[in-house]
Amino acid sequence: MTDARDDGPLGVLPGQAIAAMIARGSLRGAPEVTRAQIQPASLDLRLGKTAYRVRASFLPGKTATVAERLAEFGMHEVSLEGGAVLEKGCVYLVPLMESLSLEPGLTAVANAKSSTGRLDLLTRLVTDRGVEFDRVPAGYAGPLYAEICPRSFSVLVRPGMRLNQLRFRRGQAVLDDGALRALHAEVPLVDGEAVISEGLGFSVDLRPEQGTLVGYRAKPHTGIIDLDRIGAYPAAEFWERIETAEGRIILDPGAFYILVSREAVTIPPMYAAEMAPYLALVGEFRVHYAGFFDPGFGHAEAGGAGSRGVLEVRCHEAPFVLEHGQVVGRLVYERMAERPERLYGAEIASNYQGQGLKLAKHFRT
């Protein structure tokens, strides 16, 4: 097993290296971290027993701990034991069951899990003395917190639920455009022309091969979603179908959409990827926050044979016309420090391998 210290190979740490971190005590849990939390290139993080309703989202800043700022911004405390509702439009801070003592050569980055993003459940990692969300600097030692803001639906949560995940990196191993073109020539990363510019561009599919259904828009007034209930909720009670025969739709300001990429994407076993905005100047909409793609996603070896990316889209200030084939995001590929022992979709429960247009696992269509 490769050691995860600063003299090892550069890249994203695979699951077996995360397990080694747990064995060394640089990654701890109370209760202990379980094998089920370890993904091919990330670790699922668990909610603790308490949520704190806060007046506003905040970062601690370089000189303060989260607990110190919580004393300033906290409103009231909510026990999650037995289940508690996090209300739409409110901001909560939840201490996580995991804590870190990172070795000098390692940094970490967090992101919402796929189902979290598809519920429009904004979830970001916060650390003591943090100046950025979702980023953990080398050498960090301390607790971890999740900031949670339900945007479209109120949700019922319990201790131990996993809404976000943490990926560990040694150094930087992002593929530049030349390396990405070479990899695409070796193993096609998309099933069509590759648009490569600071990552692999992907576009929106608004001309489906069959029918006119191109996406879903969250309804503004719905019931509560219990995050433990899989396939329990009729989609029609929470989502409006978006259909078009014209290859275009108009995004409404403030609305949240589930769409799908035109391209089928592949992540080879020795690589991981992260979703990023395509062009910051296109500011009328944003592809949402669940952005990790594990090694093996869409890869034939792991039963994928190309999987399309689900796009979680929110429109901002003005109505915006979205056209079929418009580039809306990019995948930034990184090398793995070593090949994962398990791939996405192979020997693990992977809800979205081989996916097309698909809502979160809690809904039935």
> Which is nearest to 117 in space by CA: 364, 362, 365?
362
Residues in the chain, pLDDT under 50: 1-5, 302-304, 348-354
Per-residue model confidence (pLDDT) at position 271: 96
DSSP H helices, the chain, are 15-24, 66-73, 114-118, 177-186
Which residue carries 């639920």 as its tokens?
Answer: 161
3-state secondary structure string, 12-31? ECCHHHHHHHHHHCCEEECC
352 touches 308 (CB < 8 A): no
> HSE on the CB side for 10, CA within 13 Å?
7
- Model confidence pLDDT, tens digit, residues 128-172: 999 999 999 999 999 999 999 999 999 999 999 999 999 999 998
Please name the residues in contact with 255: beta carbons below 8 A apart, sequence gap of 6 or more. 217, 218, 314, 315
Query: How big is the chain by its Cα radius of gyration, in Å?
Result: 20
Cα(365)–Cα(358) distance, integer angstroms: 9
Per-residue model confidence (pLDDT) at position 282: 55
- Model confidence pLDDT, tens digit, residues 78-134: 999 999 999 999 999 999 999 999 999 999 999 999 899 999 999 999 999 999 999
Per-residue model confidence (pLDDT) at position 352: 44
Per-residue model confidence (pLDDT) at position 359: 94
Per-residue model confidence (pLDDT) at position 288: 62
245 touches 210 (CB < 8 A): no
Per-residue model confidence (pLDDT) at position 300: 60
